[in-house]
Amino acid sequence: MTMLPIHPRQSLLALLCLPVATLAANPSCETRSGEQLTPVIELYTSEGCSSCPPADQWLSTLKGKPVVAQAFHVGYWDYIGWVDRFAKPEHTERQRQLAAANGLRSIYTPQVVRNGRDWRGYVGATTVATNEPSRATIVLQRSVNDPNSFQAEVTPAAGVTAWSAYWSVTEHDHSSRVTAGENNGEALKHDFVVRQYAPVGRYQGAQSLKFNAIAGQAAHARQINLVVSDAQSGQTLQAISLSCG
């Protein structure tokens, strides 16, 4: 059967007439960890702490760099007069767990933890990388049917007997006008704000993990993070971050 030639204008018209649903299909979003350890930076901070804004500003300099950065706001300074709206009790609980693992007598703000270890040398640091090899492989992807559903395949390296993990959702470009407490009158800006934190237990061998994230906000770029650590030492084995809305 002879096919009639199609004029280029007809081809373009046919494309333009495709159903909107076809053109706006939800694309897949996936990332895989590399051979080197992606550094994990956890900042424990509070809007009620006068020494915290410089640390918040330092954390913002990590935007766009190969790092999993997270600002865990804590609420134990709220009694001074300003309630930090980003603070959650589970953030303080994680900080206490890290303090115990690091042999610290108390918790404090601002505190920076790198790969599970207290890091007081962050001020003036030109890099956060430690040039360590990865000890786990992570493949993270978003569901094609649900923009807030994620799945990860975690495979620990040989020699890792047990591991634990946690998910977090972080957001950029938050701001607060503080009207009480130590930062009274200040306009504070925050990036990497932890909006959801979800520990997922202790495992052995390869596992598949699932996570339902809070909905994203157009005004605040969102990252979905997964941090995998040695269950005994707490040191980071590998971490990954996915930014796809």
Residues 18 and 129 sit within 8 Å (Cβ to Cβ): no
Q: Which residues contact 177 (CB under 8 A, 6 or more apart)?
A: 186, 187, 188
Q: Provide the domain count of the chain.
A: 1
Is residue 237 a part of any domain in this protein?
Answer: yes
Give the model's pLDDT for residue 245: 63
Is residue 18 a part of any domain in this protein?
Answer: no
Give the model's pLDDT for residue 18: 42
Interior CA angle at 97 toward 92 and 98, to 5°?
A: 95
- CA distance to 3, 72, 159, 229, per residue, from 12 (Å): 18, 51, 57, 52
Is residue 3 a part of any domain in this protein?
Answer: no
Is residue 200 a part of any domain in this protein?
Answer: yes
Q: Which residues of the chain have pLDDT under 70?
A: 1-27, 245
Residues 34-83 have pLDDT tens digits of 999 999 999 999 999 999 999 999 999 999 999 999 999 999 999 999 99
HEC string of the chain equals CCCCCCCHHHHHHHHHCCCHHHHCCCCCEEEECCCECCCEEEEEECCCCCCCHHHHHHHHCCCCCCCEEEEEECCCCHHHCCCCCCCCHHHHHHHHHHHHHCCCCCCCCCEEEECCEECCCCCCCCCCCCCCECCEEEEEEECCCCCCEEEEEEEECCCCCCEEEEEEEEECCEEEECCCCCCCCCEEEECCEEEEEEEEEEECCCEEEEEECCCCECCECEEEEEEEEECCCCCEEEEEEECCC
Positive or negative CA dihedral for 107, 199, 219, 31? Answer: positive
Is residue 221 a part of any domain in this protein?
Answer: yes
Give the model's pLDDT for residue 216: 87
Q: What is the pTM of this model?
A: 0.88
Residues 171 and 222 sit within 8 Å (Cβ to Cβ): yes
Give the model's pLDDT for residue 26: 47
Is residue 65 a part of any domain in this protein?
Answer: yes
Is residue 47 a part of any domain in this protein?
Answer: yes
Domain span at residue 119 reads 27-242
Give the model's pLDDT for residue 2: 37
Pair of tokens at residue 121: 């040398």
Give the model's pLDDT for residue 25: 43
> CA-CA distance, 101 to 95, in Å (whole number)?
10
